[in-house]
Chains A and B, each alone.
Chain A
């Protein structure tokens, strides 16, 4: 596969469930990102990882827990979510996290519904 892949593509979970979202990039990039996209809102940056180290965390509730075991893989662990967490979760990557001329390439997203 090429580019940025995400699994699962769709997820329905109850508020007491624990699930994980997975992202994998095949571009040789060193930076990876999680974004949340809700209806009528801008894309919200959640986490930034550079070379497996978290470099930015935008006041995200602790019920979202990221993990970056290596520069190609990024996970988002979910537990005790709320219905307002239902959204499209997008993973992205870029060559580094500091190059202002670098663009970010997005995966297809995981559509999450919390019941």
Chain B
């Protein structure tokens, strides 16, 4: 059974702080890793994807991947109240659909 684990939270950070969201996965064959953001009552929307070990930055978002540790994280710098949402980690190997974690709820207070 392929699993993707996330701390459900809520993770509470003050406005302007760095939010750190973590995800571990069980299948060593996983090749690509995605972070989706889901606002309450809405569908998931893609924030970032990463395929190679290391860091990938896009604006205020940085994804970090460590395949040896089977660990992927998302850092959100200068957190804003509009970042308050549930963040879903998803992994994929070739030939399969995405496997999702339960998501971490982030709350950014102003």
Which residues does A use to contact B, with CB under 8 Å? Answer: 33, 40-43, 45, 48, 56, 90, 97-101, 103-109, 111
**Does B100 belong to the interface (CB within 8 Å)?**
yes
Number of interface residues of B (CB under 8 A): 25
**Does B34 belong to the interface (CB within 8 Å)?**
yes
A residues near B17, Cβ cutoff 8 Å: none
- Contact assessment for B42 and A108 in the assembled complex, using a CB-CB cutoff below 8 Å: yes
- Contact assessment for A107 and B4 in the assembled complex, using a CB-CB cutoff below 8 Å: no
- Contact assessment for B4 and A100 in the assembled complex, using a CB-CB cutoff below 8 Å: no
- Contact assessment for B32 and A101 in the assembled complex, using a CB-CB cutoff below 8 Å: yes
**Does B18 belong to the interface (CB within 8 Å)?**
no
Q: Which of B38-75 contact A (CB under 8 A)?
A: 41-46, 49, 51
**Does B93 belong to the interface (CB within 8 Å)?**
yes
Which residues does B use to contact A, with CB under 8 Å? Answer: 4, 8, 31-32, 34, 41-46, 49, 51, 88, 92-95, 97-103
Nearest Cβ in chain A — how far from B4, in angstroms? 7
Bound together, the chains give a CA A109 to CA B42 distance in angstroms of: 8
B residues near A42, Cβ cutoff 8 Å: 4, 99-103
User: Which of B8, B42, B43 has the most chain A CB atoms closer than 10 A to its own CB?
Assistant: B43
Residue of B nearest to A35 (CB): B100
